[in-house]
């Protein structure tokens, strides 16, 4: 009887290991990491698991999340976008300059938001055109465009923060609808729209095809350049929204508004299981990846880890998670 039980347990373990071998670790590893982090943090601080605590947590991560949603489309097609910080800063400074503020007499209200987002969307399209028409690698072209955007924001900024006094504009980040913060609602709407584009339209199918094999996609009739430009335009739109949100939350526009978003946005995409080579992934995986980063940073604060060690711990967790979720043998730098 004992031998039978041991054999039975052994068979269960073997079957479990076989299932893990067949499973997609790029999905399992990030989800398992996120659950583990929330369990650990929940034990230490149960209040974070309440709706109030969780909503406050989400508010801190939404600008990064929206940037990650945007760049995930670019990465899925095998390219990269390094203009995130510059475009976010430009959007935040521009909208602050155009709404009611203490620097000038402009009071364009809602139109200021439209103009700021439209500008970054156009910059995204220009990123795509530089990459497709001028045949410049996306990492190089977007890096230059990011520098241009940052330079323009500094010219508008002129060394002084643009303080916003438009109360209606501030409600974008401070207001609520049915006890749900407006920023969470906006992020959810953007997520659902991008998820629909990914799952139900030719855009999502063609982006994966381009990321999987760009030459083959072109041979079967996919308008590669067109959809690359569209993807960069979507990314620019998302950066613009993130910049508007940051300006609304801080109540001011500054030229360093987007600082730090580049690293965490791209890391969130890859950490969620989207292939850096393109051809797989999506906004849901990106959502998981960004939540991992934000949860980790929150946990380090809750456990009172010294700031001198926080980057070290964050880097180790990111590497370990990616170790189980990325096929490292085929990585190459060709953006």
Q: Is residue 320 part of a domain?
A: yes
Q: What is the pLDDT of residue 64?
A: 94
* Cβ 127 vs Cβ 81: under 8 Å: yes
User: Is 72 domain-assigned?
Assistant: yes
**Range 259-284 average pLDDT:** 85
Count of domains forming the chain: 1
Residue 6 belongs to some domain of the structure = no
Residue 73 pLDDT class (50, 70, 90 cuts) = confident
1 in a structural domain = no
What was the pLDDT predicted at 25?
61
Per residue in 128-141, pLDDT tens? Answer: 999 999 999 999 99
* Domain assignment of residue 14, yes or no: no
Beta-carbon contacts of 285 under 8 Å, excluding residues fewer than 6 positions away, are 26, 27, 30, 72, 269, 272, 273, 274
- Give 226's pLDDT tier (boundaries 50, 70, 90): very high
Task: Give the pLDDT confidence score for residue 15 in this predicted structure.
Answer: 47
Question: Which is higher by pLDDT, 116 or 20?
Answer: 116
Could you tell me the CA-to-CA distances from 71 to 4, 185, 198 in Å, in that order? Answer: 54, 20, 13
Lowest-confidence pick of 66-75, 134-143, 289-298: 289-298
Query: Is the residue at 2 inside a domain?
Result: no
Average of per-residue pLDDT across 269-287: 84
The residue ranking higher by pLDDT, 277 or 162, is 162
pLDDT, one tens digit per residue, over 293-333 is 888 888 888 888 877 777 787 777 677 766 665 554 444 44
Domain that holds residue 167: 25-330
CATH code, domain with 255: 1.10.3470
Q: Where are the alpha helices (DSSP H) in the chain?
A: 2-22, 25-44, 51-76, 84-98, 110-133, 138-157, 167-174, 182-200, 202-212, 214-219, 224-250, 261-271, 283-302, 307-325
Q: What is the mean pLDDT of the chain?
A: 84
Lowest-confidence range among 156-160, 283-287, 323-327?
323-327
**How sure is the predictor about 91, in pLDDT bands with cuts at 50, 70 and 90?**
very high
Q: Residue 187: pLDDT above 50?
A: yes
- The C-alpha atoms of residue 77 and residue 100 are separated, in whole angstroms, by 40
Q: Are 215 and 64 in contact (CB under 8 A)?
A: no
227: exposed, middle or buried (Cβ count in 10 Å: 0-12, 13-18, 19+): buried
Instruction: Label the pairing between strands 176-177 and 162-163.
Output: unpaired
| Average pLDDT over every residue of 267-271 | 86
Residue 254 lies in a domain: yes
Give the model's pLDDT for residue 331: 45
Q: Looking at the domain assignment, is residue 44 inside a domain?
A: yes
């Amino acid at each position: 009887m004992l031998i039978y039980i041991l054999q039975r347990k052994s068979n269960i373990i073997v079957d479990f290991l076989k299932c893990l071998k067949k499973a997609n670790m790029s999905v399992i590893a990030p989800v398992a990491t996120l659950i583990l982090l929330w369990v650990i943090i929940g034990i230490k601080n149960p209040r974070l698991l309440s709706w109030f605590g969780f909503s406050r947590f989400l508010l801190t991560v939404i600008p990064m999340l929206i940037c990650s949603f945007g760049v995930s489309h670019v990465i899925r097609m095998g390219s990269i976008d390094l203009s995130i910080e510059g475009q976010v800063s430009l959007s935040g400074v521009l909208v602050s300059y155009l709404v009611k503020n203490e620097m000038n007499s402009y009071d364009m209200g809602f139109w200021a938001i439209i103009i700021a987002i439209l500008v970054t969307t156009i910059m995204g399209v220009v990123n795509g055109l530089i990459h497709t028409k001028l045949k410049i690698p996306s990492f190089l072209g977007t890096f230059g465009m990011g520098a241009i955007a940052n330079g323009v924001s500094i010219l508008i900024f002129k060394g002084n923060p643009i303080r916003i006094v438009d109360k209606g504009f501030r409600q974008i980040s401070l207001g609520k609808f049915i006890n749900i913060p407006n920023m969470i609602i906006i992020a959810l709407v953007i997520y659902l729209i991008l998820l629909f584009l990914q799952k139900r339209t030719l855009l999502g199918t063609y982006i994966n095809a381009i990321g999987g094999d760009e030459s083959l996609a072109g041979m079967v009739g996919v308008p590669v350049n067109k959809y690359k430009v569209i993807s960069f335009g979507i990314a620019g739109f998302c950066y613009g929204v993130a910049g508007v949100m940051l300006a609304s939350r801080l109540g001011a526009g500054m030229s360093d508004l987007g600082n730090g978003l580049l690293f965490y946005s791209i890391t969130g995409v890859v950490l969620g299981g989207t292939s850096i080579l393109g051809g797989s992934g999506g906004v849901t995986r990106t959502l998981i990846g960004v939540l991992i980063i934000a949860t980790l940073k929150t946990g380090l604060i809750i456990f009172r880890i010294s700031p001198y060690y926080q980057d070290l711990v964050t880097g180790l967790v990111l590497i370990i998670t990616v170790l189980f979720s990325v096929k490292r043998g085929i990585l190459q730098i060709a953006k």
